[in-house]
Structure 1
Amino acid sequence: MATSFLSASHLLLSPNGEARKCRLMGTTQSLFLSNKNGVISKFHGSFVVKSMFGMGRKKATVVKRETVIPDPDYRLPVAFLGLAGGLAYTDNLFGAVPVGLIGLLLLVQSTRVKFVFDDEALEVKIGEQLEESGENAFVGGKNRWKYSSFVNWELWWPNFPILVYFKETQTKPEGQIHFFPVIFNGKQLYDVMVERAGPSKTSGPK
């Protein structure tokens, strides 16, 4: 049987009596168009409904989460510098020098390193201008990890946070572990990690 390819536009009545425009295309057979009240029309010549009663639908609104940057916290570097001062006071220069250097390094990093939590990922950036931090010096790859790749994370210790740990599968499928000194506001850091990466086994900072 010969077939024909037809294209037409028809005005149909919706259940509330409004006219709706329908674009039809097809090749053989008969087509019945119906609504809640029953059959509206019968068409001959095989039509396929391309669009019908789809007008007026609202698109879903996607709300993005705000970017969060925890404030710097100098308690950890000050603690190291205080310990170094105590060691120096007792003439233990062998211990005071490395501890003091760690304290100075953490103090400098506290003023320049930023944890930036955007809508989909945690990224390490540098300075007030939030410049790119480049590739990770230890494991390679960009210092940006999607929350969906996080396997687990911890904050040690909540009352006086020293280290934040997390494991992600973005760097490598079997999982990559990261440790960072907590040179940020521990409460802000914990709250945003819970919100974006899910709960941790540790309790929240007091």
Structure 2
Amino acid sequence: MTSVTSSSSANQTVELSPSYTIPLVLIGVSIPLLLVQPWVSLPLALFGLFLLFQTVAIRLQFTPTDLDVYRSNQLIRRFPYTEWTNWRIFWTPFPILFYFREVKSIHFLPIIFDPKTLKTCLEQYCPLDDSNL
């Protein structure tokens, strides 16, 4: 579920809903793995718990001009679309990673938010140029 915080479609801000799929899958896989490989299970479970915490705490908002990242209702980072050169969502059947490149940096984010709305917002606010494919 997405929430829209502005009524005008030209000035619409879209906040992505959290998706707990990846953290819960990692935690779920770590439980039976505990019986076979405890040293592998523990880091996997801890990473799953870390992502679960991030899923609860982090919010992405697509505004008409930038992608804003919030932690507990506090803006922690702003990524203006004008500085973006490319973006991708990796592994279409089960989206796990969101990549975007700015003029001066590259960013990778785990998909801890609704992947369908993410793709829709990316296509709307930051369409890919065919020359970047």
Q: Is the 8 A contact 1:158 1:186 kept in 2?
A: no
Distance 1:114 1:64 in 2: 21
Aligned to 1:98: 43
Q: What is the TM-score when the length of structure 2 is the normalising length?
A: 0.86
Deviation at 1:86? 2.1
Q: CA deviation at 1:123?
A: 1.1
| Structure with greater Cα Rg | 1
**AA partner of residue 108 (structure 1):** F
| Structure 2 CA distance for aligned equivalents of residues 200 and 179 of structure 1 | 20
**Greater helix fraction, Structure 1 or Structure 2:** 2
Residue from 190, 200, 203 that aligns with 2:119: 190
Counterpart for residue 67 of structure 2: 122
Partner of 1:131: 74
SS of equivalent residue, structure 1 residue 116: strand
| 1:181 corresponding residue in structure 2 | 110
Q: CA offsets per residue over residues 142-177 of structure 1, 9 Å max, x none?
A: x211111110000012221111000012xxxxx310
**1:121 aligned partner, one-letter code:** D
Higher relative contact order (CA 8 A, sep 6+): 2
For 1:29-68, what per-residue CA distance to the aligned partner results, in whole angstroms no more than 9, with x for missing partners? xxxxxxxxxxxxxxxxxxxxxxxxxxxxxxxxxx733000
Partner of 1:52: none
Aligned pairs, number: 122
CA RMSD of aligned residues (A): 1.6
* 2:71 partner amino acid: I
Deviation digits for residues 96-137 of structure 1 (CA, Å, limit 9, x no counterpart): 01000000001111111001111100011012xx2122xxxx
The secondary structure found in structure 2 opposite 1:119 is: coil
Unaligned runs of 5+ in 1: 1-62, 134-142, 170-174, 202-206
Question: 2: CA distance between counterparts of 1:76 and 1:93?
Answer: 20
What are the within-5 Å matches in structure 2 for residues 146-161 of structure 1?
146-161=80-95
What amino acid sits opposite 2:122 in the alignment?
Answer: M
